[in-house]
Structure 1
Amino acid sequence: MTSLLNLPSEGAFVFRVWRPDLSGPSVCTLRGDTVVDVTCVAVPTVRDLLELDDPSAWLAGAEGVTVGTLAQIEANSTEHPVQDRPRFLAPPDLQAIKACGVTFAFSMLERVIEEKAQGDPGKAEQIRLRCKSILGDSLRSVVPGSEKAAELKDALIEEDMWSQYLEVGIGPDAEVFTKSQPMSAVGWGASVGLHPISNWNNPEPEVVLAVDGSGRIKGAALGNDVNLRDVEGRSALLLGKAKDNNASTSIGPALRLFDQTFSMDDVRRLQLDLKVTGPDGFELVGHSTMTEISRDPEDLVAQTRGRHHQYPDGFFLFLGTLFAPTEDRNAPGEGFTHKLGDIVEISCAELGTLRNTVRLSTECPEWTFGTSAFMRNLAKRNLI
C-alpha cells in the first residue's frame, strides 16, 4: 500500500499518536514502515523531546514499543476513526501555536484587497486591478523596514492605498498572532473547520517551525492556517474569530527534526504544492516557494520570542503563505472559496503530505482533551 503521507525515505520524524489502550497520546517515531512509541519518563511529551540538545540523536537510540504499521495508523486517521485503534494527531502538544501573516508579497496584496473590499468578494477583482496598477511588482523587491520600504509607504499614502497589512508586510515589525491554543491543532486525515459565519475562505499552505523554550529551531512540519477572508476583511479586530476556531489549525503529517539530512537552509528552499478537490468536481492547484518570503524565518522567530516575550514550553510558528487563490469558483469576479467536503492536500518533498477534509467548525469533533486532561493521563501512566 502506498502511503498518502508521502514521507521521504530519510529523516528523523516525530509523530503524536492517540493510543486508545492508554486513553491518551504518545510520542512516536518511524522506523522503516513501523510506528514506534518512544514515550518515557525522560521524554513524556513532544515538548520535552524538543528541549533536548539533539532530539534527532536521542530519537535514533530510544527504546520503544510498536504501535502499528504506518499503513494501519494512516488508515484509521480519518474524520471518523475506529475509536479502539491508534490514529495520528498533530505533532505539537504543550507548545503555543503562533503564526506570522503578510510575509509574502502576493498574499500581502490580497490582504490589502480583503481590507479594501470589506469582506465582499464581489468587489475584490476591481480593487485587485487598481492595486496592481499602482504597485506592480514593486513589493517583491522591498526589504521590510528598509529606507526603500519607507519611501514606498509615503507614495502609497499619497495614493490613498496605504493599509495596515502593508504596515506589517514592509514595515519593521512582523505580524505575529496566536493561531490556536496548545493541544487544539488537528492532524493528518482529520476535519478542518470553517466558522459558520464565513462565506469567503481558503486554505493557507505553510511551513511551520518547531521552536524550543530557549528559542532554538528544532525542525519543521506542514500546516494549514485556515483563513476566513470575509471575516478578517471586515475588520482586523476580528482576527481572533477569523483564525482561532474549532479544528481551524492543521499541522502534520509529522515533525521532521533537524539532523544531517535536513537543516534551516533546507527550510529556506522548500517548495510547497496545494491541491483542493471539491465534491462538485472542482479542482484547484497552487504552488508556494519559501525562496520568496520577505522576512527570514529566523527573524520571524526572533520577533516572536525574546526578552519581550518568553515561551517556556516552546512554540510552533506558521511562517505565512504565498498562496491566495483568485480563481473563480461560484460566480465571475468572486474568486475561490471552500465548499464543505473539499479535500485539501498540502505537499512538500521533504515534509510529506498533509491531508484534511473541510467542514464547519460546528460539525467537527469538539476539542475535549486539553492540557489538564493530558497531565492527568501522564500521571496515571507514571510518566510525570
Structure 2
Amino acid sequence: MLENDGVYLGRVWRSDLDGPSIVTLREGRLVDITSRAAPTSRDIFELADPVAHVRSCEGEDIGGLDEILENSRDRTRAKAPYLLAPIDLQAVKACGVTFARSMIERVIEERAAGDASAAGEIRKMVGNIIGDNLRDLVPGSPEAMQVKKALVEAGLWSQYLEVGIGPDAEVFTKSQAMSSVGWGAEIGIHPVSSWNNPEPEVVLVVASDGTVKGATLGNDVNLRDVEGRSALLLGKAKDNNASSAIGPFIRLFDESFTIDDVRAAELDLLVEGEDGYRLEGRSSMKEISRDPLDLVAQTVGRHHQYPDGFVLYLGTLFAPIEDRDTPGGGFTHKVGDRVIISNPQLGRLENTVRLSTECAPWTFGTADLMRSLARRDLI
C-alpha cells in the first residue's frame, strides 16, 4: 500500500484514551508518537525539522497497519484504533479549475444550470469551439488573454474560464478545521443533489510560514448540479458533513519524496457501486495549468495568514462524463458507492458514499481536542 522508504504521519482514534493520537508507520506497524513536544499534527509541521522528529520520536506500538485498516472499515469494534484524517488544526483550503479539461466541465455545468441531461449537447458545442486550445496555455499570459478575447466574442466567456486561464486562481475554503474524514469513513453527498462526483486530488500540507512540508490524497466531493445552478452556491456544493476526505497518511518531504514528485503524480480512481457499476479514471498532475507552489503563494502571504498552517487541495483533471443510467445523463454517485483514490507514493484513500445527513455527525471539534490533550497531560 505504501513505499517503505517514506516518512508517513497519520492520526488515529483511540477509544482507550477517549481521544485522537498522532502516529507514524514503521515496518508495517503504527506507532503512537503523540508527545508534549508536538501533540498535534499541526505542531509537527511547525517544527523546524518534522522529518527528524517523526523518525526519532519514541512511541507506543498500537497495531499492524492491516489490522487498523480493518478497524477503520468497521468502527464498531470495541476500543480498536481506527484512522482519522491525518490533519487536525490546519485550515482546509482547495483550488478549483486548475486543469483545462475540468475547467471545460465547469463551464458545461454553468451552461446546463445544473441539469445533467443538457450537458451532452453543451459539451459538444463547447468542444467544437474550444477544442484543445486551452491545454498548453499559461494562465494570465498574453496568449491566454487572446483566448479570453476570442471566447468573449463567441459568447462563451464564463467565470470558470476566468479563474482557469486568468491571472488569479480560485482558492476557497473546502471545510472547517477538524471536520475532514479519513480512510474507511463514509463521505457525504448533500441530499438535495442528483448530479455529483468524486474529485481525486493531491493535497499539500503547508506550515504557517508557507513552506510545503508534505502531501497526501484527498476527495473533494463535488455537487455538480448545485454549483452549476450558481457559483454563489459553492459553499453548499463543497462544505457539507463528511464532504472532505483526506488520507490515509501525510507523506513528509524528504530525500525520497519532494514537490517534484507531486508535480509528476498520477492518481488512479475506482468507483464500485453496489449495483455492480464500475468506473475507472485517472488524474495526472502533469496536466495542471498552475504550478502547485504558485497555488500555495496565492493562498498564503501578506494578504492572508494561517497561524496553524493549512492543507490545500490542488484540483483535479477527472470529470466523469460516461452515462451511468440514462443516455445523456452522465455520471452521478449512488449511495453505497465505494471510492478508491490511489497513488504509489501516497497510498490508497478508500471511502463509502452516503447522504451527508446519514453520515456520522461531526461532533469532535477544536475545544474537544484541547480538553482531550489536557486530560492526557499533553498540553
TM-score category, normalised to shorter length: over 0.9
2:138 maps to: 143
Q: 1:288 maps to which residue?
A: 283
Tell me how far apart the structure 1 counterparts of residues 169 and 194 of structure 2 sit (CA, whole Å). Answer: 28
Q: Which residue of 1 aligns with 2:171?
A: 176
Give deviations 1:9-42, integer Å, cap 9, x for gaps: 2200001011111111111001112100011110
TM-score under structure 1 normalisation? 0.98
Task: Write the distance in 2 (CA, Å) between the matches of 1:338 and 1:41.
Answer: 43
- The residue number in structure 2 matching 1:193 is 188
Give percent identity, aligned residues only: 64
How does 1:285-364 map onto structure 2 within 5 Å? 285-364=280-359
In 2, Cα distance between equivalents of 1:83 and 1:217: 37
Residue identity matched to 2:2: L
Match of 2:39, SS state, is coil
Question: What is the CA distance between 1:83 and its match in structure 2?
Answer: 4.3
**Pair 1:368 & 2:355 matched:** no
1:56 aligns with 2:56: no
- Indicate how the Cα distance of structure 1 residues 242 and 248 shifts in structure 2: closer, same or farther if over 3 A, else same: same
Quote the residue 1:127 is aligned against. Answer: 122
Distance 2:136 2:206 in 1: 29
Contact 1:79 1:191 in 2 (8 A): no
Number of aligned positions between the proteins: 379
Residue 3 of structure 1: aligned partner? none
Listed one character per residue, the Cα deviations across residues 88-139 of structure 1 (whole Å, up to 9, x for unaligned) are: 0001100000000000000000000000000000100000001000100011
**TM-superposed deviation, 1:79:** 5.5
Residues 34-67 of structure 1: CA distance to partner in whole angstroms, max 9, x if unpaired? 1000111101001010011221111111110111
Q: Give the partner amino acid of 2:54.
A: L
Q: Secondary structure of the equivalent of 1:210?
A: strand
Q: Measure the CA separation in 2 of the matches of 1:51 and 1:367.
A: 26
Alignment partners' CA distance in 2, 1:362 and 1:183: 18
* Residue type of the alignment partner of 2:238: K
Q: Which residues of 2 match residues 208-287 of structure 1 at below 5 A?
A: 208-287=203-282
Amino acid at match of 1:16: R
Structure 2 SS opposite 1:71 = helix
Alignment of structure 1 residues 81-160 onto 2, 5 Å: 81-160=76-155
* One-letter code aligned to 1:153: K
> How many Å apart are 1:81 and its aligned residue?
3.4
Checking the alignment, whether the CA contact within 8 Å between 1:81 and 1:87 is kept in structure 2 is no
Summarize the alignment of residues 6-85 of structure 1 with structure 2, pairs less than 5 Å apart. 6-78=1-73, 80-85=75-80
Q: What's the CA shift for 1:197?
A: 0.1
Assess, with a 3 A threshold, how the Cα gap between structure 1 residues 238 and 280 changes in structure 2: closer, same or farther: same
TM-score (norm 2): 0.99
Answer whether contact 2:75 2:82 (CA < 8 A) is retained: no
Change (3 A) 1:83 1:95: farther
Distance 1:314 1:321, change over 3 A: same
Shift of 1:72: 1.6
Cα offset, 1:288, TM superposition: 1.0
Could you list the runs of 5+ residues in structure 1 that have no partner in the other structure?
A: 1-5
- Report the secondary structure of 1:67's partner residue: strand
Which one is further off, 122-131 or 73-82? 73-82
Per the TM alignment, residue 143 of structure 1 is displaced from its structure 2 partner at its CA by 0.5
- Superposition RMSD in Å: 0.7
